[in-house]
Amino acid sequence: MRLLSRRRSSVRSYLLAWIISPIALFIVIDSFSLYRNTLESVNTAYDRMLVASVHSIGDLLRIENGELKASLPYAALEIYEADYSSRMIYRINDLDGKFFDGDDDLPAYQGRRDQAAIYPSLAHIYEDTYNGVPVRVAALFQPVVTNGPHGAALVQVAETMENRSALARKIFWETLLRQAALLVVIVSVTLYVVSRALQPVDALRRQLDERSADDLSPVDPPLAPRELQPFIKALNELMARLRRLLDHQQRFVANASHQLRTPLAVLKTQLQSGLRGDAPPHVILGEMSGTVERATTLANQLLSLAKVEQLRGRGVQEVCDLAMLARETAVDLSPLIAEKSLDFELDGDKVFVMGHPWMVGELVSNLLHNAIRHTPERGRLGIRIRQFDGRAELLVWDSGGGISDDAMETVFKAFSSSGSSSGGLGLTICGEIVDSMGAAIRLHNRYEGGSQFCRGLNASVSFAAVSEPRSG
């Protein structure tokens, strides 16, 4: 479901989401982290003022006539305050631990003096509450020298958290506003850049929308970026395949409508002639049988040509044993060879090519069938298969009269009459198969002994040979 939703979303939304979302998330996390760090920094700064105040008060304590005395100027009570807006809270306990001066409702420090410390008069910072309000407190055990044993008075100075929190919030909101302004700039720049980057895609879409249904010419959008070139190349290749397929379909319809119309018209004429009694029935039926056979052959060739184009569009290939397919084809056509009492030879090495088995078999069948048709009775023909220099060669030879030099150029065209007395699609099918497999076909007359008399025709096909597939 998530994959389907991702496919349906636009590229623009996808890019914006994955560019802006991480940045926005980072800004939010960084802002809260900054607030905590700011609060810690504010606490550190204010705590230093608290420590300075508690030491200032501690330094003013003295013993007179056995009693604890303190002269506390107001400035000493405000040294820690940044803006002098909060009320001073302090408490002093005498040597006996009883309240001496200050705010007696400030909770007394519950910690104990560390007698083993190297410097016991260090201030201790902690948090407490005063009248239900959170406060930050600095407590100091201040040594006081008397005539007797050394004693220590407890000095506590407290500050409400209001100023600290207000300063931290102020810094946080100022930083957050700057971060928000930064995010707005990033979003604006990203929108502009993404829109500019997708302009070639929009131009390509508009160009395709404006095309007519039969326009399969290559796409050439102006100023297409390098990343879009593979897509345009694949699109042009697809259009070329579609154009080739449509051309083939149009040729198929045109050829079928033209070529099948003639034998059907002849067949109708023969039928009418038989009904009128122009000739004996067995003569009419024989002529009709020949016409039906030619129409059947033509229809099969048209269907074979259509299947070749269909298999070419699929692009599915496999390793084919050329010699085995040639033997199977020769067995299928053995009745035609025997009917003319032909001397057939098959000399084939074990050679493998890449292609579709039906197409390779159809290629051999058409070449061999053409050779049988042009070889006179009791003549010779054969198939020879060889491999050399990484190439596989299929040679189908006959002992017919060959073809003229002018016919060499048109023999692979549809319904060319150069290759047979009645025309057809046999060699056209061979040309299409060879082209789809990336092979090459060549026809040449065979002259022996320097004679000017043609001894036959060689049809050779050159393939790229492949290794024998491993079994299992």
Q: What angle do CA 457, 454, 460 make, to 5 degrees?
A: 20
d(CA 433, CA 327): 19
- Residue tagged 């051309």 (tokens): 247
Beta-carbon contacts of residue 362 (< 8 Å; ≥ 6 apart): 304, 308, 429, 433
C-alpha separations of 294 from 60, 186, 450 in Å: 130, 76, 38
The distance of Cα 237 from the centroid of its chain, to the nearest Å, equals 18
> Which tokens sit at 28?
């939010």
Per DSSP, the residues of 166-205 read HHHHHHHHHHHHHHHHHHHHHHHHHHHHHHHHTHHHHHHH
Amino acid letter at 466?
V
Say how many Å lie between the first and final Cα of the chain, rounded: 40
Q: What is the pTM of this model?
A: 0.49
Q: Give, for all 472 residues of the chain, the pLDDT tens digit.
A: 444 444 455 777 877 888 888 888 888 888 888 888 888 888 888 888 888 888 888 887 877 776 777 766 655 555 444 454 556 688 888 877 788 888 888 888 887 766 555 455 578 888 888 888 888 888 888 887 655 555 788 888 888 888 878 888 888 888 888 888 888 888 888 888 888 877 777 888 887 888 887 777 877 766 677 777 788 888 888 888 788 777 767 776 776 666 677 777 888 888 888 888 878 888 888 888 888 877 787 777 777 777 777 777 666 678 889 999 999 999 998 999 999 999 999 998 888 998 888 888 888 998 998 899 899 999 999 999 999 888 999 999 999 888 887 777 778 776 554 444 344 677 888 888 888 888 889 998 888 766 677 888 999 999 988 887 765 5
d(CA 429, CA 304): 7
d(CA 141, CA 135): 19
d(CA 291, CA 295): 6
Measured torsion, CA atoms of residues 404, 405, 410, 411, in degrees rounded to the nearest 10: 50
Neighbours of 400 (CB within 10 A): 21
